[in-house]
Amino acid sequence: MLVLVTGGAGFIGTRIVRALAEAGHGVRVLDALLPAAHGAPPRPAPPPAGVEFVRGDVREPATVEAALRGVDAVCHQAAMVGAGKDFGDAPDYVRCNDLGSAVLLTAMARRRVRVLVLAGSMVVYGEGCYTCARHGTVRPGPRRTEDLAAGRFEPACPRCASPLTPALVSEDAPPDPRTVYAATKVAQEHLAGCWARAGDGRVIALRYHNVYGPGMPRDTPYAGVASLFRSALAHGRPPRVFEDGGQRRDFIHVQDVAAANLAALTAADGLLAPGTLRAYNVGSGTPRTVGEMAAALASSCGGPQPVTTGEYRLGDVRHITASSARLRAELGWLPQISFAEGMREFATAPLRGENTRVPPR
């Protein structure tokens, strides 16, 4: 099988390309090497032997058409990620994520490429799933500025204002995007679903949780929290943990995410009926708090301990963890890298744009 991997020179894309090549598949990479992800000037790692690299943007129809020649399936990783700096980033997110996906899907329809594995995100769920002792499963609204400023970070029941218990969210939960990035990830899935129905395509949307690992971009407002903490420690500074550090997330190693993509590409034809999209959560299954993650990184590299600041961002959600049972049952995928093992590796591994490892202190 010849697979086109858009964004294949990026953090996650690089690992997917390696996994596909090691499994014996043909791989072609399409990547624009944008400065936000690769620095300026970009210095991407060389692709594995036999992998074809095409520098180009998914928003350019002619480039995408050429990159799709002879392709059997597409693994769409190219995207602008993260929470961004402010709402002024909205046009860039929409252009990169939604326009880029629309151009790619149009070209796939013309080329009759029928299999797509889409890099989705857990951000589509918004605040996630909670239970109230009186009202059962509820979906709290956005947290109020006055509550956050007063240090009241936990969302309350929207019906009785009682404390809530966070629970695992399933793929069948309705979307509830709380940021521009989240809205574009919802739109990507809807566009892919329309493409599948119009041309008998098959789409697997892998909703990644908090992906971390060697090669994450460093020192950028679009990086994930793990990268920001890791960058601080590399400069001898303590990680700054927002709110009270009790935010629950599911940290999943990039190697396990690559394995999920390989499983999806292998299974899509036999698993899905033509014209369908099926979503899968990709997480470790073991929620951790942001404070725990920061402490694990600091301890692993002997750096300064985290500082809990009480700061907050309005677009952030308190808890978002999801069940990956569907992915395990239907695709036979299991995460291999434990939280402790992954954090020990990540604490001293190079980030994108770094040439040296962090020396243990």
Q: What is the pLDDT of residues 190-229, one digit of tens each?
A: 999 999 999 999 999 999 999 999 988 876 655 678 888 9
**Phi-psi category of residue 252: left, alpha or beta, with phi > 0 → left and psi -120 to 50 → alpha:** beta
- Write down the pLDDT at residue 220: 60
Going by C-alpha positions, the residue among 88, 67, 5, 77 that lies closest to residue 37 is: 77
> What mean pLDDT comes out for the span 66-90?
88
What is the predicted pLDDT for the residue at 83?
Answer: 67
- Residue 97, pLDDT > 90, answer yes
Q: Which pLDDT score is estimated for 89?
A: 86
pTM: 0.93
Residues contacting residue 251 through CB under 8 Å, at least 6 positions apart:
209, 210, 212, 226, 284, 288, 293, 339, 342
* Tens of pLDDT, residues 268-300: 989 999 999 999 999 998 999 999 999 999 999
Check whether 107 has a pLDDT greater than 80.
Answer: yes
H helix runs in the chain, sequence order: 11-22, 35-38, 61-67, 90-93, 100-111, 145-149, 180-199, 225-234, 254-271, 290-301, 325-331, 339-348
Closest CA to 78 of 26, 112, 49, 116: 116
- Two tokens at 51? 């992998």
What is the chain's mean pLDDT, rounded?
A: 91
The tens digit of pLDDT for each residue in 299-310 reads 998 999 999 999
Residue 16 phi/psi, 5-degree rounding, is -65, -45
Q: Is residue 204 within 8 Å of residue 273, measured between CB atoms?
A: no
87-107 average pLDDT score:
94
- What's the pLDDT score for residue 356? 39
- pLDDT > 90 fraction of the chain, expressed in percent and rounded: 76
